[in-house]
Amino acid sequence: MQQKPQGILILDFGAQYTQLIARRVREAKVFCEVVPCSISMQEIQAKAPVGVILSGGPASVLDADAPRVDPALYDLGIPVLGICYGMQITAHTLGGVVEKAAEREYGRVPVTFDTQSPLFAGMKETSVMWMSHTYHVTQAPAGFSSIAHSENCAFCAMSHLQKRIYCVQFHPEVTHSEEGQVMLQNFLYRICGCTGDWTMTAFIDQAIEAIRAQVGEDGRVMLGLSGGVDSSVAAALISRAIGSRLTCVYVDHGFMRKGETESVREVFTGQFPVNLVVADARQRFLDRVAGISDPETKRKRIGAEFVACFADEARKLQNVTFLAQGTIYPDVIESGSVKGSAVIKSHHNVGGLPDDVARRFTGGVVEPLRMLFKDEVRRVGEELGLPHDMVWRQPFPGPGLAIRVIGEITPDKLAIVRESDAILREEIALAGLEGDINQYFTVLTNTRTVGVMGDERTHDYVLGIRAVTTDDFMTVDWARLPYDVLSKISARIVNEVPHVNRIVYDITTKPPATVEWE
């Protein structure tokens, strides 16, 4: 039996940075879980964490309805790290004084540390940390002493050595904090005694055991395989655990990129054998979107058709009582709340399954990636040996190429985006730029312009190229593709793809534009 990894509990007081704290802890090879700040002491003890982190939050501890912590938390004998609101609530709960600061402190602030404190061991005496607060501690609770200060703040950090309670006013988790990660690692390794046992190899072994335990000796599982990273890694992992007792349903809606269906077929019949069902629904989807040009109607129809196809396939299967999904941790946690297990991955293209189908899955939901962040999912995929292209696949919208044909969809127009997209991908790879651009694709505009080919005038389509860089897809910049790469892409597309006589490059940021054109 594999040992459970050591775990840190992060109590979420609603900060926008809570997920980031969790990612930093994981990057330090320590498992952690985000839980609502209202968690009871019994629940905390049942999880037996090696440390607790209190996140920041938007409230003021002086407000009557501000979230609180049970004072018993500080007597559990588990080390505590309070960050921002987590520091203020600790001070407030244990009898210190929190007051509104004369001025809001925001941005990069030089902080001087007591490097004798285990929290700051090995750090420079003064370095820049990121601050964002209106309230601050002006008097520490009994037994606490200040271990860091800035020009405006006497208590940038405080600690109670015997009780192993540490608090910081700044945000070590953001990259603007110069030695924030060193500080977090000090908390994890020096104070909580973590050993760095959270590795993807260990995760895979535990996940395989957990899947086998959940589905039993002869349980059967169904999974909707989209070809995306999450569902592919989930399928590979479950295939390792139970082989062909896993049925993967891949709905080929005809809006996939060139070669994708073939690659899914190859991987999940070869290297990771499962019972693969490829539902050829290309005509069915084309019929469903015929004559539709409104983007939202397209999305809704495709989403509904997708569920209908999946449900049709599910109804054909006998004795399959478990539904597997590639749910990942960001789907499970949201700042300020931790969502329960959804019956179907909440996804803006797919609604819930029809009742009669949902009722078939009496065994429940199998979600082996539910505790992983995206980068961890990719590492699991690599560790399992999935093809590089599948593991590092760029984001691809659920409705696929359908929203990259502006306006009405026809098979000819789909062929134009599919072929041009393949050329674009090929040239980006040849130029070695795959790792530098987060998403890139072609869009068939609904506009035709005049061109000339030989002695003939043409009247053909304008094709757009979009390539963006981003951290989170909330804001994006357009990629500065080298001119010679753009030039080669343009020449190849107009030469090789019929009915395109003009190429434009999209040089808009988001906002105000979005990534997709529809």
**CA angle, residues 279, 280, 282, in degrees to nearest 5:** 135
Q: At a CB cut-off of 8 Å and minimum separation 6, what does 296 contact?
A: none
- Scan residues 320-349 and list those touching ligand XMP (CB under 6 A): 348-349
Candidates 452, 202, 441, 231; CA nearest to 331 is 231
Q: Name the segment binding ligand XMP (CB under 6 A); options: 253-261, 306-314, 410-418, 508-516.
A: 508-516
The C-alpha atoms of residue 108 and residue 105 are separated, in whole angstroms, by 9
- Scan residues 189-248 and list those touching ligand XMP (CB under 6 A): none
- Which of 131, 229 has the CB closer to ligand XMP? 229
Catalytic entry in 136, 160, 167, 173: 173
Token pair listed for 432: 């070695």
Q: At a CB cut-off of 8 Å and minimum separation 6, what does 449 contact?
A: 459, 460, 462, 501, 502
* Beta sheet of 221-224, edge-to-edge order: 275-280, 246-252, 221-224, 322-324, 364-366
Q: Going residue by residue from 429 to 468, which x/- string records binding to ligand XMP, judged by CB under 6 A?
A: ----------x-----------------------------
- Scan residues 94-133 and list those touching ligand XMP (CB under 6 A): none
475 touches ligand XMP (CB under 6 A): no
- Which of 439, 442 has the CB closer to ligand XMP? 439
Which segments of 217-345 does DSSP mark as H helices, in order? Answer: 229-242, 260-269, 282-289, 295-316, 329-332
Least CB distance from residue 397 to ligand XMP, whole Å?
A: 3
Please name every residue paired with 224 in a beta bridge, in sequence order, or none if there are none. 249
The C-alpha atoms of residue 312 and residue 280 are separated, in whole angstroms, by 12
Least CB distance from residue 439 to ligand XMP, whole Å?
A: 5
The C-alpha atoms of residue 410 and residue 47 are separated, in whole angstroms, by 55
- Which of 147, 409 has the CB closer to ligand XMP? 409
Least CB distance from residue 340 to ligand XMP, whole Å?
A: 22
Is 171 an active-site residue? yes
Catalytic entry in 92, 133, 136, 171: 171
Would strands 31-36 and 157-160 be described as parallel, antiparallel, or unpaired? unpaired
- Which of 16, 514 has the CB closer to ligand XMP? 514
Least CB distance from residue 70 to ligand XMP, whole Å?
A: 40
Please name every residue paired with 167 in a beta bridge, in sequence order, or none if there are none. 82, 158
Among 175, 473, 495, 498, binds ligand XMP (CB under 6 A): 473
- The letter for the amino acid at 18 is T
Is 173 an active-site residue? yes
3-state SS assignment for residue 415: helix
Least CB distance from residue 310 to ligand XMP, whole Å?
A: 15
Q: At a CB cut-off of 8 Å and minimum separation 6, what does 93 contact?
A: 68, 69, 71, 74
Among 265, 284, 488, 510, binds ligand XMP (CB under 6 A): 510
- Which of 38, 514 has the CB closer to ligand XMP? 514
- Which of 213, 507 has the CB closer to ligand XMP? 507
Catalytic entry in 32, 84, 153, 167: 84
Q: Name the segment binding ligand XMP (CB under 6 A); options: 205-213, 282-290, 424-432, 509-517.
A: 509-517
**CA distance to 60, 83, 158, 173, 501, per residue, from 150 (Å):** 21, 16, 13, 18, 62
Least CB distance from residue 331 to ligand XMP, whole Å?
A: 12
- Which of 126, 509 has the CB closer to ligand XMP? 509
Q: What sign does the CA torsion over 103, 105, 106, 108 have?
A: positive
- Which of 368, 397 has the CB closer to ligand XMP? 397
What are the two backbone dihedrals, phi and then psi, of residue 231, each rounded to the nearest 5 degrees? -70, -30
- Scan residues 355-414 and list those touching ligand XMP (CB under 6 A): 395, 397-399
Q: At a CB cut-off of 8 Å and minimum separation 6, what does 483 contact?
A: none
Is 160 an active-site residue? no
Which one-letter DSSP state was computed for residue 4? Answer: P
Least CB distance from residue 380 to ligand XMP, whole Å?
A: 21
Residues 468 and 440 sit within 8 Å (Cβ to Cβ): yes
Task: Give the count of alpha carbons within 13 A of 94, CB side only.
Answer: 25
- Scan residues 281-300 and list those touching ligand XMP (CB under 6 A): 299
Task: Give the count of residues interacting with ligand XMP (CB under 6 A).
Answer: 13
The C-alpha atoms of residue 32 and residue 6 are separated, in whole angstroms, by 8
- Which of 258, 300 has the CB closer to ligand XMP? 300
Least CB distance from residue 474 to ligand XMP, whole Å?
A: 8
Least CB distance from residue 32 to ligand XMP, whole Å?
A: 27
Residues tagged active-site: 84, 171, 173
Binding site for ligand XMP (CB under 6 A): 299, 348-349, 395, 397-399, 439, 473, 510, 514-516
